Amino acid sequence: MATKIYKLNQNKNSAIFPLYANDGKMKVDYTFKDGNQLTRQPARCTLRGKFYQDLLESSALFKSGVISLERTISDAKVEAPEKKSFKNIEGVNTAREAIEFVLNTWAVKVTTGKQAKEFANKQGYDFPNL
């Protein structure tokens, strides 16, 4: 199923449009928000359910152009990025040792153990005992 983002083609900050389904037995409020009248940024509504998308797309608001489909985002499974493997430095047990390790290895001056660990992580190293 895809996520669809609809935009309101009127210069409004927000708007709510009630639509009825199942012969008027079910009311669905479509909320368009985050628009900006000054910058002419349109209000938007994000829908994930096919029922709600079809109801909106079959409405007179959509057919007349008051509301239009801005984009469709595929819900295809996104693969997780590979975990970066670190070279563990077991001999670093304190913040001071981490600061010295960074200074001696890369000649970079850091002032806290947290900064030393973050810098070392960017270089592919980790201090598991810190």
Torsion of CA 48, 67, 32, 42, to 10 degrees: 120
The pLDDT confidence band at residue 28, using thresholds 50, 70 and 90, is very high
pLDDT given for residue 55 in this prediction: 94
Stretch 81-93: mean pLDDT:
80
Record the pTM: 0.56
Domain ranges of the chain: 3-73, 87-126
pLDDT at 39 exceeding the cut of 60 = yes
pLDDT given for residue 2 in this prediction: 86
Give 50's contacts (C-beta < 8 A, 6+ positions apart): 1
> In whole angstroms, what is the distance from residue 36 CA to residue 110 CA?
43
CA angle 108, 111, 113 (to 5 degrees): 100
- DSSP bridge pairs for 36: 41
pLDDT given for residue 78 in this prediction: 56
pLDDT at 76 exceeding the cut of 80 = no
Stretch 26-41: mean pLDDT:
93
Q: Which residue has the higher pLDDT, 77 or 121?
A: 121
